[in-house]
Amino acid sequence: IGKSVCGKDVYIIQSGCGEINDNLMAPLIMTNSCKTDSASQLTTVIPCFPYAQQDKKDKSQVTISAKLAANVLSVADADHIIAMDLHVSQIQVFFDNPVDYLYAEPGVLKWIRENISEQKNCTIVSSDAGGAKRVTSIADSMNVDFALIHNENVKDLVAILVDDMVDTCGTICHAADKLLSAGVTRAYAILTHRIFSGPAISHINNAYFQAVVVTNNIPQEDKMKHRSKIQVINISMILAEAIRKIHNEESVSYLFSHVPL
């Protein structure tokens, strides 16, 4: 850190994506350096939580990496953590320190309202049972139905598939095929954390999606901009307003339902 932060409130922002271990270590070192320099209040802002998908122990040799990542943040002495759309709510109990959770949902709803004209003929779709709560909440706000990919009638509707975290996109692209066979008029995918590894882009290009919309929780580097199907929801203002509110000791709950202007 270039200058003393002694007595200051400090906010460290780093998304846990890309070179994930470097991007986990960097905020840990910065947090701890600021603590050593007697910063008064330290907040670590992690838009995409590292290892969020590794949230359970399904084999005896496996560790719960998401829990380990939460634990080391506590050890580095962050007073406060800000995260967005954690993959499963279970991760919340991994933290020892106070955490403010933010949701991409207001940004998602805003994108839908500005970009999809047939609001009443939409259905919000989850590709698995785990996402049911998320899609129900969005569908309720829009006053439309929601569907799980297996069993609902979506004929003649505009399907909006919503997911929090996707990697190779195999599952959502398979879901798009199913929606097409079921007779939807169009399909969109809206994703909070796009990891997009391996064949993700080619999967998306070949899939029946009008647009695949992602947040910039993970930086959207230039190469993404040239993929015509990919559009970006800018969540910067949600984070900025959360920081402002926390700094002023206000509740962040307004941001659960509103996008700050």
Ligand X SMILES: *[C@@H]1O[C@H](CO)[C@@H](O)[C@H](O)[C@H]1NC(C)=O
DSSP 22: H
Tell me the residue type at 219.
P
Query: Least distance from C-beta 85 to ligand X, angstroms?
Result: 17
Phi, psi of 13 (to 5 degrees): -115, 125
Query: Least distance from C-beta 187 to ligand X, angstroms?
Result: 14
Beta bridge partners of 163: 191
Distances (CA, A) of 59 to 56, 64, 90, 93: 9, 10, 18, 21
* Interaction of residue 22 with ligand X, rule CB under 6 A: no
35 vs 245, beta carbon nearer ligand X: 245
Among the listed residues 41, 65, 121, 205, the single contact to ligand X using CB under 6 A:
121
CA angle 223-226-231, nearest 5°? 100
Query: Least distance from C-beta 231 to ligand X, angstroms?
Result: 6
* Interaction of residue 237 with ligand X, rule CB under 6 A: yes
Query: Least distance from C-beta 120 to ligand X, angstroms?
Result: 6
66 vs 112, beta carbon nearer ligand X: 112
Among the listed residues 96, 128, 140, 156, the single contact to ligand X using CB under 6 A:
156
Half-sphere exposure (Cβ direction) of 107: Cα atoms closer than 13 Å: 24
* Interaction of residue 153 with ligand X, rule CB under 6 A: no
* Interaction of residue 236 with ligand X, rule CB under 6 A: yes
Most distant CA atoms of the chain, gap in Å: 61
Mask of contacts with ligand X, 98-117, x by CB under 6 A?
----------------xx--
Among the listed residues 234, 251, 253, 257, the single contact to ligand X using CB under 6 A:
234
Quote the CA–CA distance of 84 and 119 in Å, as a whole number: 26
Element containing residue 19 per DSSP (H, E): none
Kindly list the residues in this chain that would bind ligand X in the complex (CB under 6 A): 114-115, 118, 120-121, 156, 211, 216, 231, 234, 236-237
